[in-house]
Amino acid sequence: MFILVAGFAATDIWRFLGVYLGGKLSEDSDLLVLVRTMATALVAAVIGNLIVFPGGALAHTSFGLRIAAAALGFVAYLASGKRMAVGIATAEFLLLAGLYLNF
């Protein structure tokens, strides 16, 4: 029930509004830009928390290793011309290598 109300309803309302408004509202309108920056900052906050305060097995790795793996993975993503697979693989490789070498 919790999932249905807080998850399903909260996401599909935007999808339905999108169909309804499709073509009626400009994508570049100022209000939509503000809404997008807020949504982006919120999801970025999720990313930050997942890296800085992780759970489970990731919580047993060192803070420095996680930051270094994520940062270098992101650099690899940018350097490869925004290839997600390259960025993700680099971060994972560094994390596993770091764990193997007991960082």
Partner 1 sequence: MSTWTSDATAPRSTWFLRGVRAAFSLPGLILVSSFIGFAALAKDAGVTAVQAAFMTGTVWALPSMVVLVGAIASGAALPAAMFAVTLSAIRLMPMVMALAPEMRTGKTPQWVLYLLAHFVAVTSWVLAMERLKRVPPHMRTTYYAGIGGTLVTTNITVVTVVYAVADALPSAISAALLMLTPMYFLTSLWGSARERAGHVAMVLGLVLGPVFHMVLPQIDLLVAGLIGGTVAYGLRLWRLKVRAA
Residue type, 89: A
List binders of partner 1 among 31-70 (CB under 8 A). Answer: 32-58, 60-61, 66, 69-70
Q: How far is the CB of 36 from partner 1 (least distance, A)?
A: 6
Tokens 């390259």 locate to 86
Are the beta carbons of 98 and 68 closer than 8 angstroms?
yes
Q: How far is the CB of 64 from partner 1 (least distance, A)?
A: 14
Does 17 bind partner 1 (CB under 8 A)? Our answer is: yes
Q: How far apart are CA 9 and CA 47, in angstroms?
A: 23
Q: How far is the CB of 103 from partner 1 (least distance, A)?
A: 12
Q: What ranges in 53-83 are assigned the alpha helix state H?
A: 63-79
By residue count, the chain amounts to 103
List binders of partner 1 among 63-102 (CB under 8 A). Answer: 66, 69-70, 73-74, 77, 82, 84-85, 87-88, 91-92, 95-96, 99-100
